[in-house]
Amino acid sequence: MKKAFKIIGFTLLTIIILLVIAPFVFESQLKDLVRKTLNENMDAQVDFEDINLSMVRNFPDATLVIEDLSIINNEPFKGDTLALSEEIILEMSVKELFKSSSEPKKVDQIKINNAYLNIKVDSLGQANYDIAIEDTTATAGDSTTTGFSLDLKHYEINNTRIKYKDESAKIALDVENLNHEGNGDFSLATSELETYSEALVSLDYDGVNYLNQNSVSLDAVLEMDLENMRYTFLENEAMVNQLPLTFDGYVQVNENDTEMDLSFKTPSSDFKNFLAVIPQTYAQNIENVETNGDFIVDGRIFGKADDTYIPKLNVKISSSNASFKYPELPKSVQDINLDMVILNDTGIAEDTYIDINTATFRIDEDQFSANGKVSNLTENMLVSLALKGSINLANLNKAYPLELEQDLNGRLTADVQTSFDMNSIEKEQYQNVQSKGTASISNFSYASPEIPNKINISNANMSFNQGNVSVPELKLTTGKTDLTANGTIQNLIGFLFTDQQLKGNFKARSNVFSVNDFMLAETEEVTTTTEDGAQKTESKTTGKEAVKIPSFLDIQLQFDANTVFYDNLELKNVTGLLIIKDESARLQNVSTNIFNGSIGANGFVSTKNPTPTFEMNLDLNSLDIASSFNGLELMQNLAPLAKAMKGKVQSKVNLKGNLNEDLTPQLTSLVGDALAELLTAELDPQQAALLSKLDSQLGFINFDKIDLSNLKTKLSFNDGQVAIAPFDFDIKGVKFQVSGTHGFDMNMNYDLKLDIPAKYLGNDVGGTLGKLSGEDFSNMMVALPVGITGSFQNPKINLNMQQAVNSLTQKVVEKQKGKLEDKAVDAINDILQGKRDPKKPFSKNDTTAVKQDSIAQSKTTKSDSIQKSQKEQVQNAAKNILGGILKNNKKKTDTTIKNN
């Protein structure tokens, strides 16, 4: 007995040791084998992170795990990912490990976890999965293989996604969350395979979505004839959403095509089958729904599939006198009749068509019916439809549990027939569209988080004629806004069936139109933590409002509004043309009455980019200055002194820049220019600190009584700076020239040049000048430069006295110099003409004017001395004169000159 225990113990110990050391012995060999097998059989970049061998994981079988496998395509799909897999598990008998490298190792089970398969077929028919390398060394009858052979008993594919896109066939299939498993014996020529599959399936064909993450499952038993590659359905049940289907028939894979003959049908005729077709999100709690009548799907797919043909189709869908009622809803849907067939009799893809012979339903007394045909599905699809009936929209979610963000309401009435081909729609050849009939909606209201106010449509009529839809009347209100419109829609079919913009021409009339009714409060996602530690995300308003021009509109709108409210402005008699296209609005020949005048506008606004932009040309005609200043922020920044003006202004303004989200200008971004004319204008210096300060320092001018009528000026603006081009004006004999710049921050740098007549200086000043020359100098002009800096709220005035003194001195000196030279010239002329003896001495006055060395060359030193003395006298007199100017202040007496 002890010997037996020793033998058993020794055997167990040996097995344990083998289990421990086997991975170290075989793992390296298996890595090389996997890498060699993959690279010798695939024309692609194949790699994996690691390979692990376990003898314990599925004892007594050995388990080989390939981690993070990737297959990247070579040309013509170079760089594309064909496949990724987080984990591939191969299970095999331990004895397979002891085979030589030239013998294939049989795999009993394979599991693929968390994989991604990306299959592509380009427009030329080239497939990215065609990566198998042909073995050119193999001879006929040679069945020897190396690497691995699949002798499966079980396989699994878990949590996998498969994307299939065929550009040539215009098919896009996306299978998500795929879980599939099968049990069978692939080592036998004939056997049964039990499979189960479930996934979410999306299918697009030729740009049309037919399935969108629909839940699909299949539980089937297949008979496998591996020698003939024929698979026959024995027992099966499929579920599409919640619609059950059973299959019969076979699929046989031949060398050049695939042959099939499959029939399927609903296992019962209960009308719940129809509700089950609807995606589960919308078909809620159908197990409690009361139904009457039937719903039957009965179809057959048969024939061959190859590069030219598809299987033939004959699928019938029918229902007769059916009804359903959800127990929690007050109304039912009755008189449901459906007769529909999907057919293809030739095996040519473009010959597939759908006939809707009958489709009707009734809610209360409202009936609606449709019929039509859709053919040539794969090429230029042909559509023929007819709709007729009247329905109270509010009853829809009283009979069916629709999950809508807003309640439906109003009455829809339609009697419309239309036929068209998709090529004509895409090419906007609407003359090929044949439509007729009428439709209307009344007492309709629409509310959504995307709009600030509910839109109420009291009446909207439509008349269909070929490709056009005329709208003879549309009446709507929202907030304070009322609108009555009529016009045409050029491409309603193109808008409904493709991604075209909605095109049309309308005339609109409004008594009151408030832009604020279309400003949406912005929201942002805010995440907070509740008391129990859970995170909660809510939408909260940011305090901002934004206007977004819809991207789907291509509309011309001739408008006429009595009153338009925009921001804090009230515009009267607004007319013009509005062109909306590509998220932009272009204004043409817009006019409005405002500020006791009128404004004309041409330009555009675009909200296409994150920061809205605009460009505008404005004609301001006879606007009240005070009202304009109080109502327009632009006026306050371009002309801050308008605050102190009363009167009328007209101007042409060209500007462009960025907009805030509420479509008001971002002032610092503005670029443009303006030409303004004051039609009538009076100043009130006390309303502006700058004018008040000038008024106190320039005592000879009474700003209270200045009339600036017909004053013209030109200005330009850029980078937040306004530049005033030099302009001149005259105030009671005082000539002014103004130029300079100021910023939107109200800091300024201006030059004010004054030419002051001597007559404003008084009799004493005039007498002083007269003594210097013996003449009346009351008409002499004195230049006085004034520098203005600081801000409009706190200005700094700099009177340039030295330059004024120099200017006045130079004028007097030039005047005196001219007098002396004239007397000398007169004396010389007398000598030349013989009227005077050259030996006779000059008079006292002549002596002071004649030059010493030569009558024709230079002045005498004595004359220079006299002129120098006179110049000093003139300078002193000028200082006294200008001092007199400034102290001749109407408000106060001050003998000093203040420079600020």
Name the most confidently modeled range: 31-40, 331-340, 797-806: 331-340
Q: At what angle are helices 801-832 and 861-887 packed, to 10 degrees?
A: 140
- The answer to whether residues 714 and 599 belong to one domain is yes
State what percent of residues in the chain have pLDDT above 90.
13
pLDDT of residue 98: 56
The DSSP annotation for 699-732 comes to TT--GGG-B-TTEEEEEEEETTEEEEEEEEEEET
pLDDT of residue 140: 45
How sure is the predictor about 341, in pLDDT bands with cuts at 50, 70 and 90? Answer: very high
How sure is the predictor about 29, in pLDDT bands with cuts at 50, 70 and 90? Answer: low
- The answer to whether residues 490 and 412 belong to one domain is yes
How many CB atoms are located within 10 Å of the residue 653 CB?
21
**Which is more confident, 536 or 248?**
248
Domain boundary among 510, 531, 556: 510
- The answer to whether residues 794 and 880 belong to one domain is yes
Mean pLDDT of 166-183: 86
pLDDT of residue 844: 44
- The answer to whether residues 618 and 718 belong to one domain is yes
pLDDT of residue 67: 86
Q: What is the pLDDT of residues 253-285, one digit of tens each?
A: 888 888 999 998 988 878 877 877 765 555 556
Q: Which residue has the tokens 């594919």?
A: 157
How sure is the predictor about 532, in pLDDT bands with cuts at 50, 70 and 90? Answer: low
Q: Is residue 538 part of a domain?
A: no
How sure is the predictor about 820, in pLDDT bands with cuts at 50, 70 and 90? Answer: low
Q: Is residue 878 part of a domain?
A: yes
- Pair of tokens at residue 837: 């003896």
Q: Is residue 211 part of a domain?
A: no
pLDDT surpassing 70 at residue 31: no
Mean pLDDT of 450-465: 81
Q: What is the mean pLDDT of the chain?
A: 76
Q: What is the pLDDT of residues 76-91, one digit of tens each?
A: 888 888 889 898 888 8
- Pair of tokens at residue 822: 């004239």
Q: Which residue has the tokens 């709220």?
A: 793
State the Rg of the chain over Cα: 48
Of 141, 150, 154, residue with least CA distance to 194: 154
- The answer to whether residues 622 and 562 belong to one domain is yes
Report which residue type is found at 382: L
How far apart CA 220 and CA 232 sit, in angstroms, is 10
Q: Is residue 2 part of a domain?
A: yes
pLDDT surpassing 70 at residue 825: no
- The answer to whether residues 99 and 22 belong to one domain is yes
Asked if 390 contacts 363 with a C-beta cutoff of 8 angstroms, the reply is: no
- The answer to whether residues 43 and 154 belong to one domain is yes
pLDDT of residue 830: 54
pLDDT of residue 415: 93
- The answer to whether residues 470 and 551 belong to one domain is no
Residues paired with 218 in a beta bridge = 197, 238
Cis, bond preceding 452 (omega within 30 deg of 0): no
Name the most confidently modeled range: 467-471, 477-481, 639-643, 666-670: 477-481
Mean pLDDT of 548-571: 83
Of 129, 207, 197, residue with least CA distance to 172: 207
- The answer to whether residues 717 and 800 belong to one domain is no
- The answer to whether residues 593 and 501 belong to one domain is no
pLDDT surpassing 90 at residue 316: yes
Q: Is residue 862 part of a domain?
A: yes
- Tell me, rounded to whole angstroms, the distance of Cα 42 from its chain centroid: 45
Mean pLDDT of 427-441: 83
Q: Is residue 659 part of a domain?
A: yes
Provide CB contacts within 8 A for 859, sequence distance 6+: 849, 850, 851, 852, 867
- The answer to whether residues 606 and 489 belong to one domain is no
Is the CA virtual torsion 874, 880, 881, 882 positive or negative? positive
Q: What is the pLDDT of residues 658-676, one digit of tens each?
A: 888 777 788 888 898 988 8
Q: Which long-range contacts (CB under 8 A, 24 or more apart) does 109-112 make?
A: 109/61, 109/152, 109/153, 109/154, 109/155, 110/150, 110/152, 110/155, 110/156, 111/87, 111/155, 111/156, 111/157, 111/158, 112/85, 112/87, 112/88, 112/156, 112/157, 112/158, 112/160
Domain boundary among 669, 695, 725: 725
How sure is the predictor about 696, in pLDDT bands with cuts at 50, 70 and 90? Answer: confident
**Side-chain half-sphere of 707: how many Cα atoms within 13 Å?**
6
> Which phi and psi angles does 452 have, rounded to 5°?
-75, -30
- The answer to whether residues 561 and 488 belong to one domain is no
Q: Is residue 671 part of a domain?
A: yes
Q: What is the pLDDT of residues 99-145, one digit of tens each?
A: 655 666 677 888 889 999 898 888 887 888 787 776 555 544 444 44
How far apart CA 256 and CA 856 sit, in angstroms, is 123
Domain that holds residue 635: 546-684+706-725
How far apart CA 775 and CA 315 sit, in angstroms, is 120
Q: Which has the minimum average pLDDT: 7-16, 63-72, 215-224, 409-418?
A: 7-16
**Side-chain half-sphere of 122: how many Cα atoms within 13 Å?**
9
pLDDT of residue 899: 37
Burial class (CB in 10 A: 0-12, 13-18, 19+), 113: middle
SS3 at position 227: coil
Q: Is residue 17 part of a domain?
A: yes
How sure is the predictor about 312, in pLDDT bands with cuts at 50, 70 and 90? Answer: very high
Report the domain count for the chain: 4
